[in-house]
Structure 1
Amino acid sequence: MCPALRVPDLPDQVAVLIVGAGPTGLGAASRLHQHGLKDWLIIDKAAEAGGLACTDVTPEGFLFDMGGHVIFSHYQYFDELLDTAVGSGADFWNTLQRVSYVWTRDRWVAYPFQNNISALPQEDQIKCLSGVAEAKVANAVAQGKPKDFDEWIMRVMGCGIADMFMRPYNFKVWAYPTTAMQCDWLGERVATVDATRAIKNVIEGKEDAGWGPNAVFRFPLEGGTGAIWKAVARLLPQEKQKYGEEYTVVSLDKDAKTATLAGGRKIRYEALLSTMPLDLTLQWLGQRKWAAELSHSSSHIVGIGLRGSCPHGLKCWLYFPEDNCPFYRTTVFSHYARKNCPPPDTQLPTLCLGDGGDTADSKPEAGPYWSLMCEVSESHLKAVNNEVEGFAGGRWAGVVRECVQGALNTRLIEKDTEIVSLYHRRLEHGYPTPSLARDGALEKALPWLRESGIWSRGRFGSYKYEVGNQDHSLMLGVEAADNILFGSKELTLSHPNIVNAKKNTDIQYSTPTFLSRHTK
């Protein structure tokens, strides 16, 4: 039997062990540090902080986030912590107005689709408005809550919008049909339809695009989203952070309160804050039935670096409900920050053209450059082409080639557009699905873990997509730390509708001035 791997400077026991250095884990660590607790440790199998909010850089110098992350917030604490870590104002952040569209019927329709059916062909306008009118009448006499997301769509929007956008788009996003999803998660995530407003917009031919909590957002000037979380990690004592494969948790013993790491090293804890996927945690601990009631989709991030000037103006992220492309959303990532692309004078060869045409004899040339970031979902109900094939002078999963073709099909690029960089990463846990069985599983699993000193929190730790943005995720960690230390209520976990209703400046969060006083 091989001896356990000895990891230097790793304690055998700690009061609070935090597994995962994404927004939730860093939120918990920041709060413990703010309160002055000394006996805690955060570990992560990645090489640096960030979790699912990290940023990768291609060999050519293009940055790509793990999805369409932007900064908008429901919490003053979150804003102040990020400003403490990154810096405040225009020297550190771009502030952008969301400009989003849906590509359908060979045209751009302003987002949200349901408010902008005036942009559709007349025949489709009639179908959508008829459906809205029928839904308004039917919903007035409907009994009880909708049984699933699909019934919610039909009650609120009708069959025209359902068939043209909501059903196909949501299947592309979630990789599960709307009939397999509940509707309690919706809140501010999906715009409803004001029938009078929709009719008025059609008559006036008006674009109506300002809905939603992220209508204005900010993004760091350099380093992508990952730079934010690396900056937050730098506020914390470096000796209390451990990164690398040797810190991978491979099993838990909830009764002995012990986490076993790769190589066999064990750490005892009094409290464990875990951001590991809850389904995996439950499987480890023998609760396979609860784990099976939790569904998730995987995400493929495909980045395309291009030579030339961006032809899409101020567009930010774009939605694609139709089957002429594999992606459900594409972000014009170069628009968020100039440094998301290499400098214009960087000399890069062309890998291929927009139509896939070979450019084997291409010589390096200067920019300027722009970029697209595509997102593709995968589940057992929605297959993705993972077969490796030759493309653009390299070996890529077929989904990369299909995304390039999809970009051409939807007029994001032209046949002769020069592609100078390609990127692909698959995330096994991409989206936590608000399945019909989810809430029943969470109501049993989370308290059961809590009784054994395990706080499972975060985008996948607590499996609540409705509080899965970066601000929510950080505050799930902050509130869990307060609960561990003082028994305080966890508002974000327990009451998503309350925290999403308004900016939260409750005194319980206070401001993170402790960090700036003790770490600068």
Structure 2
Amino acid sequence: MIQQPAALEIDSFPSTPRDTSRSSTESQTSEDVESENAVEEEIETLVIGAGPTGLGAATRLDQLDRPFIIVDASSTPGGLASTDITDEGFYFDVGGHVIFSHYAYFDDAIDRALPGEDDWKVHQRVSYVRSAGQWVTYPYQSNVGQLPLDLRVKCIDGMLAAAEERARTPDVKPVTFDEWILRNVGQGIADAFMRPYNFKVWGVPTSMMQCKWLGERVAAPNVRTAVRNALTQQAAPNWGPNATFRFPTRNGTGGIWTAVASKLPQKQFRLGGSGTVERIDAENKTAVFADGRKIKYQHLVTSMAVDGFLERLDGGSKGSGAVEKMRQAAKTGLVYSNTIIIGIGIRGERPERIGDKCWLYFPEDDAPFYRATIFSNYSPYNAPSADKKLPTLQKADPSLPYDSEAKEGPYWSLMMEVCQSDHKPVDLENLMKETIKGAVATELMLPDDEIVSMYERRFDHGYPTPTLGRDAAVDQILPVLKATFGIHSRGRFGSWRYEAGNQDHSFMLGVEAVDNALFGTPEMTLFETDWVNGRRNTERRLK
């Protein structure tokens, strides 16, 4: 079970947001509620969504002393970066989130929100891939020397063949992700890791995905280093922007965003039922809400999933054709997967086999999850204190007998992520059972481990998939929304660019959307993501 957060007070936010889905009482049409309670406000900028993007927009507007209202159907800020707490006292993020940043402005915002030395934990990433019964140090393609000999030979041979092919055809540019994989890491690694893992993440074959999104997210191997490591059995050093990362000491990732929201004027928030958007009248620049209120705006920044936003968009007499074309582009070109988060609380000292591992990758079929995070390693407050007495719900092997009497800890926790899509169906009824079975099969848990908490939550929009048709669809939607209706659709699903979907990116998408709407400033994060990722961005400061 999951604790419901306290009722929202106008001057404070609870630290643990709950489900963002709409209740049955919110299903009235806008026409029904308008007649009951047609209250109208006017504001310069309306911000839809109180996740990182919306809070970035609101933070910038507040800094500029410009009037705004921010709305969200959820009762608490955070969006897809929120955190839940179980009845037993285990915290689980609604995804695998950590903090690393390309922007001074983003750092200013979160440091202002959580300014104390004890507010943060700093970690060196300790990450592995579970492959052929081994824990292979991440990145996999640089550490194949840790694999069994036969698989090691296949991987090295594939890398050498790929290097030879690149030398023969230097002008060839891969189009699909699958072509990129074969060209950069070769057949062996493609079959052992890249193809099966990415299918488990995205829920589509790599041949259906483009490769322009990759940027700094996937390490292209240095063949000489990979061969040397294979011969010496040495591990390659940490790679990537998240090799060192921060995590909040208390309240999980969601605690960052409730703290960021608390620095803004509380009277400008409309959350829960009063923040549920029913319709956008673009011709009259008016948003209509579930409770019948209306807000007239001059500028609109929305981080709502753009496919859902378009269904609520009324283009009026002059814009209906444009809206219909955008809806068609979204239906044919925008693909997403659902994400299911599984959390497991376990009694006992953290096992030596777990150690200081952070997150782990699972490409093989012996577990339904593609990634597992040792969530209690991020902060001791992510699990209940050792003196809390909790009953055992079952052993990891459910056939084993157990004593259900409440006992003290200590406790540790695992958080798993599962993808669901049209290409990758999931047995939701048995997913918890299969997840626990997979955790035992991959040695995350032992059969005799005592489970004291089980958590499960599904998100309809989890990953915006960078398919081959994505860019064409986005290019038919975002410019039209801006040019025709003055609407900036931004964020993980608002702009549908996964490569600009980390928390720092998402926050700055909102900041930059405001500056573009008010001053015409270029939006570098959305349109020049690789350039942004290659430098420390200090042009804006919140201080």
TM-score clears 0.5: yes
**Alpha-carbon deviations, 1:394-432, whole Å to 9, x = none?**
xxxx21111111101101001110000000000111011
Corresponding position of 1:378: 420
Residues 1:404 and 2:436 are matched in the alignment: yes
Residue 128 of structure 1 pairs with residue 161 of structure 2: no
Please give the residue correspondences for 1:310-389 in structure 2 after superposition, counting only pairs within 5 Å: 310-311=350-351, 312-357=354-399, 362-387=404-429
Runs of 4+, deviation exceeding 4 Å: 5-8, 358-361
Encode CA deviations 1:460-495: one digit per residue, 9 max, x unaligned.
Answer: 100111110000000000111111111111010110
Q: Which amino acid aligns with 1:81?
A: A
1:264 CA drift (Å): 3.5
CA offset at residue 18 of structure 1? 0.5
Match of 1:436 in 2: 468
**Pairing partner for 1:109 from 136, 146, 153:** 136
Q: Report Cα offsets for 1:52-105 as digits up to 9, x if no partner.
A: 00000000000000111000000111111111111143x110000000000111
Name the aligned partner's letter for residue 79 of structure 1. Answer: D
Report whether the alignment pairs 1:289 with 2:318. no
State how 1:486-505 maps to structure 2 within 5 Å: 486-505=519-538
Cross-structure match for 1:27:
56
Greater alpha carbon shift after TM alignment, 452-461 vs 357-366? 357-366
Distance 1:23 1:242 in 2: 16
* Partner AA of 2:501 in structure 1: G
Q: Are the equivalent residues in 2 in contact too, given 1:341–1:369 (CA < 8 A)?
A: yes
Correspondence for 1:298 = 338
Contact 1:153 1:166 in 2 (8 A): yes
Give the counterpart letter for 2:406 in structure 1: P
Residue 7 (structure 2) aligns with: none
8 A Cα contact 1:148 1:178, kept in partner: yes
Instruction: Return the letter of the residue paired with 1:137.
Output: E
Q: Distance in 1 between matches of 2:142 and 2:310?
A: 42
8 Å Cα contact 1:351-1:359 kept in structure 2:
no
SS where residue 12 of structure 1 aligns? strand
Q: Name which of structure 1's ranges 214-223 and 252-261 shifts more when overlaid on structure 2.
A: 252-261
CA distance in 2, matches of 1:7, 1:59: 37
Deviation at 1:210, TM superposition (A): 0.5
Q: Which residue of 2 aligns with 1:144?
A: 172
- The residue aligned with 2:121 is 94
How many angstroms apart in 1 are the aligned matches of 2:40 and 2:292? 14
Match of 1:41 among 33, 56, 69: 69
CA distance, structure 2, for counterparts of residue 48 and residue 418 of structure 1: 33
Distance (whole Å) between structure 2 residues aligned to residue 93 and residue 205 of structure 1: 35
**Residues 420 and 140 of structure 1: is their aligned pair in 2 closer, same or farther, counting only changes over 3 Å?**
same
Q: CA deviation at 1:4?
A: 2.6
What is aligned with 1:512? 542
Distance 2:51 2:303 in 1: 8
Q: How high is the TM-score relative to the length of structure 2?
A: 0.89
CA distance in 1, matches of 2:459, 2:401: 31
| CA distance, structure 2, for counterparts of residue 332 and residue 7 of structure 1 | 48
Greater Cα shift, 355-364 or 58-67: 355-364
Relative to structure 2, which stretch is displaced further, 145-154 or 264-273? 264-273
Answer whether contact 2:33 2:290 (CA < 8 A) is retained.
no
- Determine the C-alpha separation between the residues in 2 that align with 1:5 and 1:403: 49
Give me the whole-angstrom Cα distance separating, in 2, the residues matched to 1:265 and 1:114.
55
Q: 2:221 matched to 1:193?
A: yes
C-alpha distance in 1 between matches for 2:228 and 2:403: 56
**Deviation for aligned residue 1:361:** 5.3
Change (3 A) 1:159 1:3: closer
Mapping for residues 237-276 of structure 1, pairs under 5 Å: 237-276=265-304
Cα distance in 2 for residues equivalent to 1:188 and 1:138: 23
CA distance in 2, matches of 1:140, 1:11: 65
Structure 2 letter corresponding to 1:33: D
Counterpart Cα distance in 2 of 1:75 and 1:502: 9
Displacement of 1:218 in angstroms is 0.6
Q: How far off its partner does 1:446 sit? A: 0.6
Q: In structure 1, what is the equivalent of residue 456 of structure 2?
A: 424
Match of 2:246 in 1: 218
CA distance in 2, matches of 1:214, 1:62: 25
Q: Distance in 2 between matches of 1:5 and 1:160?
A: 64
Aligned to 2:205: 177
- Any stretches of 5+ residues in structure 2 without a counterpart? 1-30, 313-322
State the SS of the aligned residue for 1:488: coil
Deviation at 1:256, TM superposition (A): 2.0
Letter of the 1:349 partner, please give it: P
Q: Contact 1:350–1:359 at 8 Å: present in 2 too? A: no
- CA distance in structure 2 between the aligned counterparts of 1:346 and 1:6, rounded to whole angstroms: 49
Contact 1:306 1:420 in 2 (8 A): yes
The one of 180, 183, 208 aligned to 2:236:
208
Say whether residues 1:459 and 2:492 are aligned partners. Answer: yes
Change (3 A) 1:358 1:130: closer
Structure 2 Cα separation of the partners of residues 503 and 68 of structure 1: 24
With the length of structure 1 as denominator, give the TM-score of the two structures: 0.93
Identity, in percent, stands at 50
Q: Give RMSD over aligned pairs.
A: 1.5
Q: In 2, Cα distance between the equivalents of 1:181 and 1:219?
A: 31
Quick check: 1:234 aligned with 2:262? Answer: yes
Distance 1:326 1:425 in 2: 15
SS of the residue aligned with 2:75?
A: coil
Match of 1:15 in 2: 44
Give 1:430's aligned amino acid: G
1:24-45: CA deviation from partner (whole Å, max 9, x where unpaired): 00000000000111x2100011
**Cα distance, 1:12 vs structure 2:** 2.2
Q: How many residues align?
A: 497
Partners of 1:78 and 1:49 in 2: CA distance: 17
Maintained 8 Å contact 1:5/1:263: no
Q: Distance in 1 between matches of 2:450 and 2:37?
A: 47
| Maintained 8 Å contact 2:363/2:370 | yes
- Paired residue secondary structure (1:472): helix
CA distance in 1, matches of 2:423, 2:523: 34
Q: Which runs of 5+ in 1 are unaligned?
A: 388-397, 514-520
CA contact (8 A) 1:134 1:158 kept: yes
